[in-house]
Amino acid sequence: MNLRKYIFRTLFSIAAILCSFVSFAEPVEMADQMRSNGKIYVVVAVCLVILIGLFLYVMNVDRKVRKLEKESKGH
């Protein structure tokens, strides 16, 4: 248990040191690195899925309202 904690702590501090190197390399850090890794496309894809889902939902509601309008016109 103690050994595991020790390993975790070491790994974490190494990661923290690496992170600090990355962030001090440039005066203004932008997501360039993230984009070169291709990870920003993941965010774009997730947002697109949400947006498309939202639009499909609104379209569905629109269709239902249209149906109701037709029904109420028929009466």
Partner 1 sequence: MQKSWWKILSFGLLIYTIVGGFLLDVPALPILHESIRNLYFHVCMWFAMMILFSISLVYSVKYLRGFNLRNDIFAYQFATVGSFLGILGYCTGIIWANYTWVSDQGQSLSGILKEPKLIGAAIALLIYGAYFVLRSSFTDIDKRARISAVYNIFAFAMLFPSIWIIPRMVGSLHPGGQGGAGGNPALNFKDVDSRLRMVFYPAVIGWTLLGVWITTLKIRIQLINDKALLHEPS
Using CB under 8 A as the criterion, which residues of the chain lie in contact with partner 1 when the complex forms?
27-31, 35, 40-41, 43-44, 47-48, 51, 55, 58-59, 61-63, 65-66, 68-69, 72-73
Three-class SS of 27-68: CCCCCHHHHHHCCHHHHHHHHHHHHHHHHHHHHHHHHHHHHH
Nearer residue to partner 1 within complex by CB, 15 or 58? 58
Query: In the complex, what is the shortest distance from the CB of residue 53 to partner 1, in angstroms, rounded to a whole number?
Result: 12
* Pairwise CA distance, residues 22 & 16, whole Å: 10
Nearer residue to partner 1 within complex by CB, 8 or 57? 57
